Amino acid sequence: MTNVKDAAAGAFFIAAGLLYGGIAWFGLPIGSALSMGPGYFPIILSAALILLGAAIVSRAVVVPQETPFGVVPWRALVLISLATIVFAAFIDELGMLPGVFVATAITGLGDREIRPLRILLASASIALFCTLVFSVAVRIPIPVIGPAFTGWW
C-alpha cells in the first residue's frame, strides 16, 4: 500500500520547488557563478527541493504507511484562522477592547462544545486583560476603542 502521507509531503515539496524555481527561472536574473544574480541560489535550492520531493514520493510507493494521519480539528482550524484574519483586518478600526473580544469569541467557537457563557466569560476577561496590559501599560499604538465606534455615544 502506498504511504499517502509521504506521497502528499513529497508532492507538496515538488510543488513548492516548481513554484519558487519557476519564479526564479522566468522572473529573476540568474547571472553566473562569479557574480550571482538574485535567481542563482533559489534555482539551486528549488532543484534540490524538487529532487528531494521526488525521492520522498518514490519511497512512499515502496515503504508502507507507518502512522495514521489522525483527526484534524476542522472547525477549530477554520475559526482560529478566521479569528486571526479578523484581527489583522479590523483591529485598527475596532480598537483593542472590541477587537480582542471579537477575535477571542470567534476562537472560542472553535472549541469542541460551544458553551455561550464560557465563551462570553473568557472573551470579556481576556479583552479586558489585554487592554490593561497592552494598551494601558505597554502602550501599543492600538486605541482602546477604535474609530469605528466614534459617534456612538
Task: Kindly identify the residues of this chain, within the stretch 12-31, that bind another protein according to CB under 8 A.
Answer: 12-13, 16-17, 20, 23-24, 28-29
Q: CB of 52: closest distance to another protein in angstroms?
A: 4
Pick one of 1, 26, 69, 152: the residue that binds another protein (CB under 8 A): 69
CB 91 within 8 A of CB 34: no
What is the total count of residues that contact another protein (CB under 8 A)? Answer: 75
Within the chain, where are the H helices? 4-27, 40-62, 74-94, 96-108, 116-130
Q: CB of 149: closest distance to another protein in angstroms?
A: 18
Check binding of 111 to another protein (CB under 8 A): yes
Indicate the DSSP class of residue 110. T
22 Cβ neighbours under 8 A, 6+ residues apart: none
Q: Name which of 32 and 153 has its Cβ closer to another protein.
A: 32
Indicate the DSSP class of residue 64. P
Check binding of 117 to another protein (CB under 8 A): no
Indicate the DSSP class of residue 144. S
Check binding of 88 to another protein (CB under 8 A): yes
Check binding of 136 to another protein (CB under 8 A): no
Report residue 112 as a C-alpha cell.
469542541
Pick one of 141, 150, 151, 153: the residue that binds another protein (CB under 8 A): 141
Pick one of 25, 48, 120, 128: the residue that binds another protein (CB under 8 A): 48
